[in-house]
């Protein structure tokens, strides 16, 4: 089964609290490093966000319009991967084989155009996020 190239879009604004753990989950994947492209789209951070991003192999872009939606547009225009992951700085990949699992799904199901992963809330996440984690197994929550 061939490996697919991933482009991971992360719009940021003063995300120093979250970005390092986020990037660590991406770059600790048991997956060829040359097939992982991380696009950091910064909306004007004034903290250490960009210093953290520069510690990793990332491509950094400026988001002059500030909103995350515009950051995603910038990333989409610059992405070179076969699969695009829309991410946030406070997200993380679970396990070191997440990219392999996704590659396997798309390789065996060429009819798929997108995939949604199960959200796992952290213990310190707001109550609404922990609640969403609980209800996502409810069939009506799938729509």
The pLDDT tens digits for 69-84 are 899 999 999 999 999 9
Q: What is the number of helices (H) and of strands (E) in the chain?
A: 5, 4
Arithmetic mean of pLDDT over the chain: 90
Distant-in-sequence, close-in-space partners of 109: CB < 8 Å, separation ≥ 6: none
Report the Cα 124 to chain-centroid distance in Å. Answer: 20
What span, in angstroms and rounded, lies between the C-alpha atoms of 21 and 36? 17
pLDDT higher than 70, residue 141: no
What span, in angstroms and rounded, lies between the C-alpha atoms of 118 and 83? 18
pLDDT higher than 70, residue 140: no
pLDDT higher than 70, residue 138: no
Q: Using the 8-state DSSP alphabet, how is residue 136 labeled? A: T
36-90: pLDDT as tens digits = 999 999 999 999 999 999 999 999 999 999 988 899 999 999 999 999 999 899 8
pTM for this predicted structure: 0.86
């Amino acid at each position: 089964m061939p490996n697919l190239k991933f482009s991971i879009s992360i719009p940021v604004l003063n995300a120093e609290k979250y970005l390092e753990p986020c990037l660590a989950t991406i770059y600790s994947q048991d997956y060829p490093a040359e097939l992982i492209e991380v696009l950091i789209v910064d909306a004007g951070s004034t903290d250490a966000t960009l210093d953290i991003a520069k510690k990793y192999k990332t491509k950094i872009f400026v988001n002059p319009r500030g909103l995350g939606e515009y950051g995603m547009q910038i990333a989409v225009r610059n992405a070179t991967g076969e699969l695009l992951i829309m991410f946030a700085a406070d997200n993380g990949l679970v396990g070191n084989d997440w990219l392999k699992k996704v590659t396997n799904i798309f390789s065996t199901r060429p009819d798929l155009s997108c995939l949604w992963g199960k959200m796992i809330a952290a213990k310190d996440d707001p109550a609404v996020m922990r609640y969403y984690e609980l209800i996502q197994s409810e069939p009506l929550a799938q729509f």
